[in-house]
Amino acid sequence: MFQAKINVTLKKSVFDPQGKTVLDALHSLGFGEAEDVRVGKYFKMTLKAKDKAAAEKEVKAICDKLLINPVIEEYQFQLAPLESDQ
């Protein structure tokens, strides 16, 4: 078993109104140090796979097929083996 932690964000070229709103709010609260905010989605997924390479392939396919829209979004993920569930 593997656990995948997937982050989906809007591409750099795409304006992120949520991120902008959060950034504005931070500034108005006095967090002037904040320079940029991008709001994204986070998926935590457990999946069966025979090895890490297979898991990686599977996660990529899942992201490309369903989790993201390549027109506006991009993703990154981390994979770690999981102890088999009790």
Partner 1 sequence: MKACVVVFPGSNCDHDCWHVMHDVMRLPVEYVWHKQNALPKVDLVILPGGFSYGDYLRTGAIARFSPIMQDVVRHANSGRAVIGICNGFQILLESGLLPGAMLRNDSLRFICKHIYLKAVNRSSIFTKNIAANQVLNIPIAHGEGNYFCDADTLKCLEQEDRIAFQYVSESGQVNMDANPNGSAANIAGILNEKKNVLGMMPHPERASEAILNSKDGRVIWESLAAALN
Q: Which residues bind partner 1 (CB under 8 A)?
A: 10, 13-15, 17-18, 21, 66-67, 69, 71-72
| Residue closer to partner 1, measured from CB, 17 or 83 | 17
Q: How far is the CB of 13 from partner 1 (least distance, A)?
A: 7
Ramachandran class of 37: left when φ > 0, alpha when ψ lies in -120 to 50, beta otherwise: beta
| Residue closer to partner 1, measured from CB, 61 or 82 | 61
Q: How far is the CB of 55 from partner 1 (least distance, A)?
A: 21
Count of alpha carbons within 13 angstroms of residue 56, beta-carbon side = 7
> What is the distance between the alpha carbons of residues 14 and 39, in angstroms, rounded to a whole number?
12
